[in-house]
């Protein structure tokens, strides 16, 4: 029978995960976009609105540039 992992072990696994690292990088870009768009609007636009806008307008290019940057 498999033993349950501890929260510390789970955190270590997540820290080593390339998928989690990608999630954190994408989240950082969304937060940056949120700040820029909130400044333009003169008010906080909220994370959800920023996330949707960023994904619709910037995500594909960001991913392509990120892959090229990692390969080179």
Domain ranges of the chain: 7-71
Asked whether the beta carbons of 33 and 49 are under 8 A apart, the reply is no
d(CA 2, CA 43): 50
Asked whether the beta carbons of 26 and 9 are under 8 A apart, the reply is no
The pTM of the full predicted model, rounded to 2 decimals, is: 0.75
Q: pLDDT tens-digit profile of 1-11?
A: 567 878 877 77
Q: pLDDT tens-digit profile of 41-67?
A: 999 999 999 999 999 999 999 999 988
Question: 10 Å Cβ neighbour count for 32?
Answer: 12
Quote the DSSP letter at residue 2: P
């Amino acid at each position: 029978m498999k033993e349950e992992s501890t929260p510390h072990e789970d955190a270590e696994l997540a820290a080593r995960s390339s998928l989690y690292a990608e999630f954190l990088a994408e989240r950082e870009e969304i937060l940056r976009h949120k700040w820029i768009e909130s400044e333009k609007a003169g008010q906080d636009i909220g994370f959800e609105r920023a996330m949707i806008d960023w994904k619709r307008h910037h995500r594909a290019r960001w991913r392509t540039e990120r892959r090229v940057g990692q390969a080179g």
